[in-house]
Structure 1
Amino acid sequence: MESSQPDHFVTLPLVSKSDESARLPLAINVVAKYWGEDLKDQGPASRATVLIDGIELAEKRGLACYIYKGSLKDLKKRIDQGIPPIVITPGIQDVAQHATVVSGYDVEERRILTYVPEPDTVGAVPEQKFEQDWEQDDMTTIVLMPADMKDLLKNDELKFVKSNRICFEAERLRQGGKAGEATEKLYEATELDPENASAWSQLGGIYNEHGSDKAVACYEKAIKLNPKYYLAYRGLGNYYLKKKDHSLAEAYYTKAVGINAARFGPIYKNRAVARMQLGNDAGAREDLVKYLEQTPGAQDKKAIEDAISQL
């Protein structure tokens, strides 16, 4: 890639599937390896690992971490400093979120370049589309760098740097079945930064999982702060579906799909349920077809195909 490599580019190490640690997120492995820290086969083996586990392991190996609300300007600054940032972007199929490593940017073509775990391969995304996708998760940025380079960031305003860290810790608690502790953490985050949409949406998620009506106000707060916050719209759809308010469930699912139609395949199955209850069989059928298109590995594929044939 030497001859065609753009000026604003960080050359990242290849972490192949065979080399990748199954215990840590790929993005963390790649950036740690870039800084000379091989985290292969590190981390807990007994459970699925969340990003904060990888971050903490990298910190034990001498790296510093900052989790904040970024911008395109900030991303470009990091690349030009030789720092490959990790961003939280929409997932695909049945994965709601994805951690992506940014490896550079192309000034002439106005594209953001992202790491792809294949030899001599990068992803090139138009800046506008990248920004629109990134905005759906409040432009969350993770910077891992050697602790002795921290002065590069000391004069920068890193928005939500403390509250976002707390959000990542709260997500680990939630996944570990400690909803009460996670809720306390998230309230701490909202007190630190009342305008952190991620904290409010996560709080709504915990309340939603436990059937609490408090979920609505939290999701609505997240949407007020960030009208593109996909997960909050999806969360409200799930809340109202459980409450059997199928009209509102369909409305919020439709708003989420309007923000990103390809982000999360299972949302179409949920909207199909709401539409069937509203007597919209044609719409439900369309949604079930879309669900199978976007979730090709769906375990309930046969049952969904049967349902489609009956609509």
Structure 2
Amino acid sequence: MDSSQPEHFISLPLVSKNEERQSLPLAINVIAKYWGEDLSPPESRDLTSKGIVVMIDGIELAEKRGLVCYIFKGSLKDIKKRIDQGIPPIVIMPGIHDIAQHATVISGYDVEERRILTYVPEPDTIGAIPEQKFEQEWEQDDMTEIVLVPTDMRDIMEAESLKFAKSNRTSFEAERLRQEGKTEKAIEELRQAANADIENAQLWSQLGGIYNEQNSEQAVPCYERAIKANPRYYLAYRGIGNYYLKKKDYSLAEAYYSNAININPVRYGPIYKNRALARMQNGNNAGAKEDLIRYLEQTPNASDRKSIEDAISQL
């Protein structure tokens, strides 16, 4: 190992973004190559969606090639243990700009500087996040951890009790069902899993999201169950805000958007545009203007930039 590298560090194969295929997320590609598996995308599918739906397809492809996957609620302690076992985990973290979530590969940790080291798809580059900041951000997505290992290492994982291992897998599979338009099946799967693991915030927030798309009043109690299970579950606050914005209850919409923003003010740029709409309806034009400016700052590639700039000039 390079003497400049931290002691608790896994050297991962460099996978350029040019190699990232729609059906194989970068994180899965990196881990598969680390274990010596060259994953070719399934020719029969052309996946164009972004996020967890792509992740579950990548996971299943890896499993077909001999890897075993575990999706569970992790911890900082667990991440460090995996690194010391030579197992690089994947974590689901807050996104940036107009992406709500993204998958990050953990490559190590620095004891002296108390930092978590993350994989960056560039030569001789490592990301470093202070442990406290990492934990606070990871908590916003209920500390979801993904571990892929060869079959002969499954005993290491199955010797332990992995929290939400079954229900988190259901969560990923249900998201794919939703993307495929099989919403009733997704609801059924999520309901069964949530009844088994009632403290799984991710399940309740997903249920809320589906009901929200259906304009069903069942959305709010599901989101509230997510918040009760994890008071820092960002997507649930944003989801309730979206629900009330559609229902034209602008005061409640603004309140829930503000709750989400207080948890993480730089996670998702479009939330500022939504809060601006609520604030305008509440007669707070000054606040709305501030939010539209923040929206453009945090969403540099916004397709509606011109119209938003026009709106700012008129407020």
TM range (shorter): over 0.9
Aligned residue for 2:69, secondary structure, equals strand
The alpha carbon displacement at 1:188 in A equals 1.5
Look up the SS of the partner of 1:47 in the other structure.
coil
Aligned to 2:29: 29
Q: Which residue of 1 aligns with 2:206?
A: 202
Separation in 2, partners of 1:270, 1:122: 35
The one-letter code of the counterpart of 2:153 is M
Residue matched to 1:245 = 249
Structure 2 residue aligned with 1:226: 230
The CA RMSD over aligned residues, in Å, is: 1.1
Could you say if the C-alpha distance between residues 305 and 224 of structure 1 is closer, same or farther in structure 2, counting changes exceeding 3 Å?
same
Q: Render the CA deviation track for 1:255-305: whole Å, top value 9, x for unaligned.
A: 000000000000000000000000000000000000000000000000000
- 1:267 and 2:268 matched: no
Structure 2 match to 1:47: 48
- 2:153 aligns with 149
Correspondence for 2:86 = 82
CA distance in 2, matches of 1:252, 1:21: 36
Distance 1:23 1:46 in 2: 5
Task: Quote how far apart the aligned CAs of 1:53 are.
Answer: 0.1
Contact 2:22 2:54 in 1 (8 A): no
Kept after mapping to 1: 8 A contact 2:10/2:86? yes
Percent of matched pairs sharing the same residue: 73
Write out aligned runs for 1:291-302 (5 A): 291-302=295-306
> Shift of residue 194 of structure 1?
1.0
Structure 2 CA distance for partners of 1:8 and 1:46, relative to 1, 3 Å: closer
Q: Distance in 1 between matches of 2:92 and 2:17?
A: 21
| 1:7 maps to 2:3 | no
* Cα deviations by residue, 1:100-134 (Å, 9 ceiling, x for unpaired): 00000000000000000000111000000000000
Return the alpha-carbon distance in structure 1 between the equivalents of residues 213 and 284 of structure 2: 27
1:50 to partner: Cα distance: 1.6
Task: Report the number of matched residues.
Answer: 311
Asked if the contact 2:31–2:88 (Cα under 8 Å) also holds between the matched residues in 1, the reply is yes
- Match status 1:114 vs 2:113: no
Secondary structure of 2:185's counterpart equals helix
Query: CA contact under 8 A between 1:20 and 1:40: conserved in structure 2?
Result: no
Task: Specify the SS of the correspondent of 1:120.
Answer: coil
Aligned to 2:18: 18
Superposed displacement of residue 42, structure 1? 4.2
Q: 2:221 corresponds to which residue? A: 217
Give the AA of the match of 1:204: G
Q: Which runs of 5+ in 1 are unaligned?
A: none
Aligned counterpart, 1:94: 98
- Report the residue type matching 2:7 in the other structure: D
Q: Which amino acid aligns with 1:45?
A: D
Q: Look up the equivalent residue of 2:64 and give its one-letter code.
A: K
The aligned amino acid for 1:16 is: S
**2: CA distance between counterparts of 1:154 and 1:4?**
34
- 1:138 aligns to 2:145 (yes or no): no
Cα drift, residue 23 of structure 1: 2.3
How far apart, CA to CA, are the structure 2 residues paired with 1:20 and 1:214? 38
| Native 8 Å contact 1:27 1:99 kept in 2 | yes
Once residues 145 and 287 of structure 1 are traced to their aligned partners in structure 2, the CA distance between those partners, rounded to angstroms, is 44
Q: Which moved more, 1:38-47 or 1:229-238?
A: 38-47
Q: Secondary structure at the match of 2:236?
A: helix
1:170 maps to which of 166, 171, 174: 174
Which secondary structure state, in structure 2, belongs to the residue aligned with residue 50 of structure 1?
helix
Cα distance, 1:45 vs structure 2: 1.9
Distance 1:242 1:223 in 2: 20
Structure 1 residue identity aligned to 2:312: I
1:41 Cα offset (Å): 4.0
- Cα offsets for 1:35-80 (capped at 9, x unmatched): 1111244462253352100000000000000000000000000000
Distance in 2 between residues matched to 1:276 and 1:257, nearest whole Å: 18
